[in-house]
Structure 1
Amino acid sequence: MQEKDIYSELSSIRNLMERSSKFISLSGLSGIMAGVYALIGAFLGYKIVYVPHSALEYRNHYVNDPKVLGQLFLVAFAVLILSLATGVWLTIRQVRKKGENFWNPVSKRLLTSLAIPLFTGGLFILILIYRGDYSIIASACLLFYGLALISGSNYTFSDVKWLGFCEIALGLLSALFPGYGIIFWTIGFGILHIIYGSMMHFKYNK
Structure 2
Amino acid sequence: MQKKSKKPLLRALAAALGFSVTLGASAADPLKVGFVYIGPIGDHGWTYQHEQGRQAVIKELGDKVETSYVENVPEGADAERVIRNMAKGGFDLIFTTSFGYMNPTLKVAKQFPNVTFEHATGYKQDKNTATYLSRSYEGRYVGGFLAAKMTKTKKIGYVASFPIPEVIRDINAIQLALDKYNPGSEIKVVWVNSWFD
Structure (1 or 2) with the greater helix fraction: 1
Greater relative contact order (Cα < 8 A, sep 6+): 1
TM-score (norm 1): 0.25
Higher normalized strand content (fraction of residues): 2
